[in-house]
Amino acid sequence: MSEIADLFDRLLRRNRWLPRAAWLRGRLRAPYHRLLSRGDRGLPLRIGGALDVRLPVDFCARELQRYEPETAAAIHDWVVKHPGGAFIDIGCSYGYFSCGVLFADPTARVFAIDADLPSLAITRHVCSLAADVGERLGLYRTLIGEEGTECVSAEGLKAQTLTTLPDPALKLDPQSTNYVNLDTQIDERQLPRIALDRFLAETLGDQPVACLVKCDVEGAEQVVLEAASETLRDRKPTILVSVHPPYLPKFGGSVEAIRALIELQGYTIDVIGIDHEEHWLCTC
């Protein structure tokens, strides 16, 4: 059934040769999704041309096939070389890359982190069709950066997030998501902070597990990395960081400082893509 639904969807919704007809698509979207959702297997899609997944119909968009292709390819290559690894998705947004890792390796563990609760609700939905997702996907509402004054454990953050996600007011709607970052005025008791060093120490412990850290935090990347010195020195994870030159100054950062910080720990930096941000692949 899902293969027929996928063909139907590619001929209609994902067919770039058909007119957009936004008003008609808006009228037909809800019944169309109900039709394609029969069977609860979702639709197949290759994120960024590299990561094969099955997505819920309401979050399966053809634009995802071209979404950050360099990053998608780098994640795919890393997962293939490191089965059973851990993917730390800082600033997971809607969770498409988390989903890609869960499908690419049925033994991988994913830690999806975002400060915006609606984004985490969407992430859980987007990843819901992956095998053993309940055991392999952890969701954490927190800000990764400098250690906060409210010392909440990683397990505590996970428990708080899982308690809040069932809120009926949360909608699986991109329009309901919000920008929340280290410059957002919000009390730490509502949104705790945790350094990456402590987060990984508590979630991975002393396990000799391969680790890929993806960091996309809209200009606060230097703050995240400065509080991850032990991680970079001892764990040596592969790092995929999105660098946002225009936004760095408001967090006291610069491209030069981030580069120096990473290279000081013995990393080689490869700029794999540039669009509205720079995509760095950092390896030892």
pLDDT per residue as tens digits for the range 215-268: 999 999 999 999 999 999 999 999 999 999 999 999 999 999 999 999 999 999
* Mean pLDDT value of segment 77-87: 98
Is the model's pLDDT at 161 over the cut of 90? yes
Lowest mean pLDDT among 31-40, 51-60, 79-88, 268-277: 31-40
CA distance 21 to 16: 12
Domain ranges of the chain: 66-283
What's the maximum distance between 2 C-alpha atoms anywhere in the chain?
55
CA distance 125 to 112: 13
pLDDT cut 70: percent of the chain above it: 86
| pLDDT for res 74 | 99
Which CATH number applies to 66-283: 1.10.3130.10, 3.40.50.150, 3.40.190.10, 1.10.150.120?
3.40.50.150
At residue 49, the 3 state secondary structure works out as coil
| Number of neighbours of residue 65 by Cβ within 10 angstroms | 15
pLDDT cut 90: percent of the chain above it: 74
| pLDDT for res 1 | 40
Q: Is 160:201 a contact under the CB 8 Å cutoff?
A: no
Q: How far is CA 241 from CA 15, 168, 282, in A?
A: 33, 34, 8
